[in-house]
Amino acid sequence: MSESFIRKIEERLTRIYSESVKSVDVSQVACQIERLCQPLLDGQTSYTLGDEGRWSEKDSILITYANSIQTPGEIPLQTLSAFLEDNLHGTINNIHILPFFPYSSDDGFSVIDYRLVNPDWGDWQDIARIAGKFDLMVDLVINHCSRENLWFFDYIANNEPYSDYFIEVDPETDVSAVTRPRNTPLLTPVHTHRGIRHVWATFSEDQIDVNFENPAVLLEFMQILLLYVERGARLIRLDAIAYLWKKIGTNCIHLPQTHEVVKLMRDVLDYCAPRTILLTETNVPVAENLSYFGSGDEAHMVYQFGLPPLVLHALNRGNSSFLTDWADKIPPLEDGCTYLNFTASHDGIGVRPVEGILPEREVQDLIDCMHRFGGFVSMKANSDGSQSPYEINITLFDACMGTRRGTDHFQVQRFLCSQAIMLSMQGIPAVYIHSLLASPNDLDHVEKTGRTRSINRKIWDKSELDCLLKNPVTPQAEVFAELRRMIALRSQQKAFHPSARQDIVRINSDLFINRRSHPQQTIYSVSNVTERMLKLPLDVLGFLPDGLRDLLAYDQEVTTTELYLAPYQTVWLTADK
């Protein structure tokens, strides 16, 4: 037993439960946490961080559901495993499998049992096979569980200790100050053995928030966290973490206790699984999102939630000004921290992260254009009873089918430009499987589920997908081949190390220019965000007179005077020979 670790955890727990109405024996809870760490500590002797540290330029992430690609009669996780090994091994080294547990709704985010693999999709051996070939990211759906979870059945039956696992609120209580990510009621009525009770449900009536003010809940999730690490998870994604702690009279988002819980998990992982990376998912304005780095003692990695809407806006508008302004103000990283960069995910394209960055008129124009391209918008409830946009629901590929002037023939080029920009940003890139596969809007899926998010959650039939990928003239084949090529090229460049310096260069609104520098290499990523051919004299960027070569070009010729950029073309320029 490590006395210093116990003391550190006791101090953290004291801060978490300092305002609790119930007495909490922090020493006892700390000892229980330390005991949970023992199995991982026993197997830790052979572990080293290695020369590269936690991450390097070789790192990239694929985001996918366990059943995103299916073959009739096959176990989906085995189909996925074969697809990954055949197509991505040696190119992408991290796989984020979205919740693969038994669930009741929301495509996995209403978890029935945190300790089981959905038997319709496979088992822990199938997860282990993928974790044996790739680093694995697993979701800890920490804010809520399914109302079909056995914890909730025991709560309804008033069985200990589950009678205090959820948050009961008098329906007459004023909860108008609570920040809402959805437009559904915050409190949902439940018939229990004690009569009707109203329980807290931030996201839906099927997703019941758990009560972290009860230390038994904290211990339950700490055990689940460490189970996932034991099962091969290298990265842990804390889903909807911002809403974890509730206190009536506050906005119930980003409360100090929430940050302390994340720091506690970081303390535990640093102690017994130091190779593990903790990622927070907080789809909120930029400053709030970055707060989850703490002082370098909280999350190892946070999402760049501003990147997807701003890249889409730049390409849709043909103007990089807002993207450039935002990127230029990204603060320096703390040691041991980095960003997860993405342009699409299983969720929609959030618009809250651009509050105070994009004018409301620009946001509305973008939403209107996405409606014309077949997309939807999800709303959130405000404290004054009004509603406002929360996220755009559309596949990124179809979001790039045109500009505000309408559709055009640059869809593939525009989409690949969005990916090249993302790949150049400081941090680790994450590619959603439906970006890798250039999936179109799945309106049939929306009609089937009744949820607008399903538009971007297509389930591919593997035989259909194979035919599309083998035909070089399909958008799917073109995007799949080029995006894999870009990721492979990126992994060989020291200037794209997550810790390499980033400087945004301002020339004009037609271009987005990102200078990445490492002691061994400098790369200028230059993207034309317009549908026009552009000419750029190299001397305006202060380039070396010996000229530069474009890493993305097939001919690798050195350019010494001026650069011509086709519509939506990106070049990665370096002086390296």
Residue 239 falls in the annotated catalytic set: yes
Rounded Cα gap, residues 87 and 405, in angstroms = 37
The tokens for 99 are: 């919740």
State how far the alpha carbon of 482 is from the alpha carbons of 408, 420, 493, 514, 551, in Å: 20, 10, 17, 21, 13
Indicate the helix (H) or strand (E) that contains 418: helix 411-424
- Alpha helices for 74-175 (secondary structure H): 76-87, 124-133, 150-156
Rounded Cα gap, residues 563 and 129, in angstroms = 46
Annotated catalytic residue: which of 59, 135, 139, 239? 239
Place of tokens 């603060």: 331
Rg of the chain taking only CA atoms, in angstroms: 24
The per-residue b/e assignment along 352-363, b for 16 or more CB within 10 angstroms, e otherwise, is bbbeebbeeebb
Question: Could you tell me if 149 and 111 are in contact, meaning their C-beta atoms sit under 8 angstroms apart?
Answer: yes
Rounded Cα gap, residues 382 and 389, in angstroms = 10
Q: How far apart are the first and last CA of the chain?
A: 54
Question: Could you tell me if 258 and 241 are in contact, meaning their C-beta atoms sit under 8 angstroms apart?
Answer: yes
**Cis? peptide before 440, omega within 30° of 0:** no
Say if residue 3 is exposed, middle or buried (CB neighbours under 10 Å; 0-12, 13-18, 19+).
exposed
Question: Could you tell me if 564 and 534 are in contact, meaning their C-beta atoms sit under 8 angstroms apart?
Answer: yes
Catalogue the active-site residues.
239
